[in-house]
Chain A
């Protein structure tokens, strides 16, 4: 099977490739400026932290009122992580 695993720059396999793919899909779908979406991954003990960067004017869209959209993204991405047996968490980074 040609299992699609995302490789990082060093060519290492990233834990939780599914969660990254899903996070990328969700954020890009919801952003007005999908080309500015960048997601960094950081391995943590027992999991992976996905740091989401979006265009400044997309922050509101990705977070949503009272964080509703962000919360939904976190829930679905966590489910995607479970598919790889990884705890996936999402940080939406204000930069």
Chain B
């Protein structure tokens, strides 16, 4: 599994940048912190935070339910009352005082012990701090229930497509959404249609948000980790990458002929990667990144 490196003023920023490069949500990535940021006098940044990240590998299998949030808890009231430190009497008292809406709960006080034990097992499922022992059997059962939701890459693509189609229609627009398996662990969903520019936004900002939400949505449908999900609208990404490649090639040509290095405008980590990758295929130029996120930029210099 390939590792990427990213930098930022803070560890958090560096992680965000790495996630952009990896095209996954944070839960599906693992990080190695290479450098803590160092600040000098008056908050001047002396050294950037550097992290290395990769998509969390499938093997070994993740501890099921270990870090997972409890699935589909519906009853907020119920949960609030499951506070383990609360005596039963207090629970009933609180419920009674609030009166409205809580009545259903309060009236069931005869079944309170059973309910409380169920609650505790739920709590344990969530925090992994309590509820071991007696309730573990039940926990196991719940976990299996939610485990059946692991999705294949194909299903993830399908989920992403559904989500995107729904979103487009809420916008009052129409689009076709294609699913395209890029490799074993990457799927691209691409919406095409008229007037989709609104979903791309200035410099692709809205598209970035749509992609983020799509990944989050798919990740929440799946108990296991999800793969890379790329979202495109109106061919924006494809065009952008193609344009960036052409631009990079022309700058490389210029640097080679003049022998002078050129600094490009600040770009996102993903865009910088395109520039680096394109330039690295061209003889006679070197690239490096300079500046601090979010104004980090690529410098193309003459070289071997």
Contact = CB atoms under 8 A, between A and B. Distances in A.
Interface of A: 4, 18, 21-22, 24-26, 29-30, 32-33, 36, 55-57, 60-61, 64-66, 68-69, 71-73, 75-76, 79-80, 82-83
A30 B217 contact: yes
Contact of A57 (B73, B172, B206): B73
Contacts of B12: 66
Contacts of A65: 26
Contacts of A26: 167, 213
Nearest 9 pairs of A and B residues by beta carbon: A75-B209, A72-B209, A72-B212, A25-B170, A56-B76, A79-B206, A21-B170, A22-B170, A55-B76
A64 B216 CA distance: 9
B227 to A, nearest CB: 19
Given A18-B170, A18-B171, A18-B172, 10 more contacts: A26-B213, A30-B217, A32-B72, A32-B73, A55-B74, A56-B76, A56-B80, A71-B209, A72-B208, A80-B170
30 contacts: A22-B170, A25-B167, A26-B167, A32-B71, A32-B72, A32-B74, A33-B74, A36-B76, A55-B74, A57-B76, A57-B79, A64-B216, A65-B26, A66-B12, A68-B212, A72-B208, A72-B209, A72-B210, A72-B213, A72-B216, A73-B213, A75-B201, A75-B205, A75-B209, A76-B206, A76-B210, A79-B201, A79-B206, A80-B198, A83-B172
Give the dominant DSSP class at A's interface: helix
Interface string B137-170: 0000000000000000000000000010011001
A27 to B, nearest CB: 10
Nearest to B216: A69
B67 interface: no
Contacts, number: 79
Contacts of B198: 79-80, 82-83
Contacts of A56: 76, 79-80
Interface in B165-206: 166-167, 170-172, 198-199, 201, 205-206
Most buried by A among B73, B79, B198, B216: B216
A4 B172 CA distance: 9
Contacts of B163: 29
A56 B216 CA distance: 19
A69 B199 contact: no
A16 to B, nearest CB: 12
Contacts of A72: 208-210, 212-213, 216
B179 to A, nearest CB: 18
Contact of B167 (A22, A57, A71, A83): A22
Nearest to A3: B172
B220 interface: yes
